[in-house]
Amino acid sequence: MITVTLKNSLRLFEELGRITARSLTGGYGIYCDGINFALVVGDFLYIRATSQTIDYFISMEFKPYNHQQGETSNDALYFALPEILWEDTREILTIGAVALRHVKIEQKSKCAESAKNSARIKDLPNLTITSERMLNKAGIDSVAQLQEIGAATAFNEVQKVHSTLIGQDFLWYLEGAIEGKHWSRVPKQRQKELIYQVSHSN
């Protein structure tokens, strides 16, 4: 059932972009350009919280949405805006706009992190499928892991599991891959540091 609160909310948030509503069990999710940032359940408007806004909602003593009451499209937290705020809809619009902005930032950050984690080693500069297999054999299975341990440690780990001596150029390949550039652009001073790290590693 479309409530007055839902109608008023959709009309109010039109300033933010293309506003749509999706029916959920117990209420409606409100979306701006496809991004969920609010929820209407009965006569209450709930605004979606992020790590950047949740403290504000708690400090204002807004009541959190009880997920047991219904189904939402995600596991996000929502906080009910007090009915008194409808006396000044500009404040509701401001809260909604801020919430939407932070939801976009959070989603963008999650997408970037997901892309980073899903990228394969062979897709990094200087490295190939053979390089990836060499690193995998040494127990280095992801871009994040390679970046965390660094070129010198990765080089030594690969050398441990290979019977033949690995050329020093592979060290530059790894450093360039981690830094996102061609191996030839690794500075001479950095090359010396890496050689020292490799030779003095336990």
Domains in the chain (CATH in brackets) are: 4-117 (3.30.1460.30), 121-199 (1.10.150.20)
pLDDT confidence of residue 71:
47
Task: Check if the beta carbon of residue 146 is closer than 8 Å to that of residue 154.
Answer: yes
Which residue in 101, 81, 105, 58 sits closest to 9, CA to CA? 81
Burial 19-39 (b: 16+ CB within 10 A, else e): bebeeeebbbbbbbeeebbbb
Work out the average pLDDT over 55-62: 93
Mean pLDDT of the chain: 88
pLDDT level of residue 73 (50, 70, 90 thresholds): very low
CB 144 within 8 A of CB 154: no
Q: Whole-angstrom Cα distance, residue 175 to residue 20?
A: 48
**pLDDT surpassing 80 at residue 74:** no
User: Are the C-beta atoms of residues 201 and 193 closer than 8 Å to each other?
Assistant: no
User: What's the confidence (pLDDT) of residue 36?
Assistant: 92
DSSP letter at 64?
Answer: B
Contacts of residue 185, Cβ cutoff 8 Å, sequence gap at least 6: 176
Return d(Cα 7, Cα 106) in angstroms, integer. Answer: 27
Q: How confident is the model at residue 57 (pLDDT cuts 50, 70, 90)?
A: very high
